[in-house]
């Protein structure tokens, strides 16, 4: 679609009073992205178009949050209704584009296929196309009023509807595709002669009918696609609907096995191989890839990670890659429970990271193990290393980070401190309780602790009576 075929106008000026929040409504998040980002992301899939966002409440905050090349902003100050909002966009419209698509920034789950169908229903600007939905309870929606032949005659806002009109179940979703030239003409004729004293965009329907321009109502494929967010309750309902959709898609298309799709959260992209199993309460953020046969235990949080085939991530493990590809877990690795992999953690095949072990900006080669209560930061760990419980790399001197290098087949005893920068040669052993500040050669035994002294006849102090 060329840049002269479509204008896209996204209304994002409302305050969202019912959200009871200082944050502009369209910046509240659903599945890790703001409501407005969902709409903008969808609009990009409609091809090359002029995209215009109407801001108002918190305009600077909204514009800063979503600014992108090719995206224009206009402001509605004050907010005097939907028609008044679109009036502000008129100077920014491309007159060469025959169709203008109008979307809502707080209706985040509209699909590109649905929006494209609405554009096509406009028939190149020869019709006014409305996206409608039939609801059991259309309270709050403008009602679609049709004539005896089924043609759309008007949209009546809920607040202005008569008792008879409120019985109509077909409601207007707030989205339409309009002929650009006619839209500009109609907007200039709007008045605020209604109960709220606002300029309603929906009044253009009656104008189109008066001119003899066909008005068509296109039913949305699903209620979820056209639901807006006006309160925390509605936001949470839409979150669960969306997460259920994602879970079902992964199960049907990629064969993912979820213990409970109702307790699954995806806030990004998840790719899974065959026979992947995920227990309850897990959260996936950013870009996550799970190889064949991976098992994820309950209540794990995994962000921007690649986990190879056969790995086991046990309960309550937190993997944070910070950016895509930022954390890597090799084939057959065993991680957790209660483990933490921070940015830059790269674990080779069959690595074991046990309970309450933290790894940051470190690589562990095949078969290395750190099974209990340990810290590895800014370290390079060789194959088959056994890293003892309670041991740490002291990698920070108060100003700079330093690296620790541990060769293959090294054994580090419990409660050791490796003060970086330091290198432990292949096959070396570090005795438990040692503080290592100097290099240890290959095959050497290093013990750096005070000599044990036993004092006979020593009496423990006794607490004096008050």
219's CB contacts (< 8 A; 6+ apart) are: 132, 133, 134
Residue 238: phi and psi, rounded to 5, are: -70, -35
Whole-number CA gyration radius for the chain:
31
408 three-class SS: coil
Residues with Cβ < 8 Å from 287, sequence gap 6 or more? 268, 269, 304, 324, 325
Query: Are the CB atoms for 423 and 410 separated by under 8 Å?
Result: no
The gap from C-alpha 117 to its chain's centroid, in whole angstroms, comes to 26
Helical (H) or strand (E) element with 251: helix 232-254
DSSP state string for 54-92: EEBTBHHHHHHHH--TTEEEEE-SS---HHHHHHHHGGG
Helices and strands in the chain, H and E counts: 8, 38
Cβ distance 50 to 3 under 8 Å?
yes
CA 244 to chain centre: 15
Active site residues: 372
């Amino acid at each position: 679609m060329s840049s002269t075929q479509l204008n896209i106008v996204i209304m994002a000026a409302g305050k969202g009073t019912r959200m009871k929040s200082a944050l502009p409504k369209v910046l509240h998040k659903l599945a890790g992205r703001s409501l407005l980002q969902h709409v903008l992301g969808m609009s990009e899939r409609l091809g090359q178009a002029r995209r215009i966002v109407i801001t108002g409440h918190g305009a600077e905050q909204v514009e800063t949050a979503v600014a992108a090349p090719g995206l224009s902003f206009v402001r509605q100050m004050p907010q005097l209704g939907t028609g008044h909002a679109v009036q502000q966009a008129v100077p920014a419209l491309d007159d060469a584009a025959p169709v203008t698509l109008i979307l809502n920034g707080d209706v985040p789950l509209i699909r590109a296929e649905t929006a494209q169908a609405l554009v096509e229903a406009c028939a190149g600007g020869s019709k006014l196309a409305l996206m409608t939905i039939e609801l059991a309870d259309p309270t709050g929606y403008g009602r679609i009023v049709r004539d005896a032949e089924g043609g759309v005659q008007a949209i009546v806002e809920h607040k202005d509807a008569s008792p008879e009109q409120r019985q109509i179940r077909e409601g207007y979703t707030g989205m339409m595709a309009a002929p650009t030239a006619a839209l500009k003409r109609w907007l200039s004729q709007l008045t605020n002669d209604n109960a709220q004293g606002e300029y309603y965009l929906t009044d253009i329907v009656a104008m189109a009918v008066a001119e003899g321009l066909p008005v068509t109502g296109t039913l949305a494929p699903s209620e979820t696609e056209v639901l807006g967010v006006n309160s925390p309750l509605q936001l949470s309902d839409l979150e669960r609907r969306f997460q259920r959709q994602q879970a079902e898609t992964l199960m049907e298309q990629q064969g993912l096995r979820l213990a409970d799709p109702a307790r699954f959260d995806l806030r990004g992209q998840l790719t899974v191989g065959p026979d992947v199993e995920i227990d309850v309460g897990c959260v996936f953020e950013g870009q996550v890839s799970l190889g064949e046969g991976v098992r994820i235990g309950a209540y794990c949080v995994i962000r921007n990670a690649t986990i190879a085939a056969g790995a086991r991530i046990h309960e309550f493990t937190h993997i944070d890659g910070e950016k895509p590809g930022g954390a890597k877990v090799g084939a057959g690795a065993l991680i957790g429970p209660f483990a933490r992999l921070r940015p830059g953690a790269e674990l080779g095949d069959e690595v074991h990271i046990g309970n309450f072990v933290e790894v940051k900006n470190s690589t562990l080669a095949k078969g290395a193990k750190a099974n209990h209560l340990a810290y590895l930061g800014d370290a390079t760990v060789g194959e088959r290393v056994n890293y003892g419980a309670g041991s740490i790399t002291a990698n920070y001197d108060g100003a700079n980070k330093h690296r620790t290098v541990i060769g293959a087949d090294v054994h580090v005893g419990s409660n050791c401190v490796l003060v970086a920068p330091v290198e432990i040669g292949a096959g070396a052993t570090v005795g438990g309780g040692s503080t290592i500040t100097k290099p240890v050669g290959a095959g050497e035994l290093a013990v750096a602790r005070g000599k044990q002294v036993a004092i006979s006849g020593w009496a423990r102090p006794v607490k004096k009576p008050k």
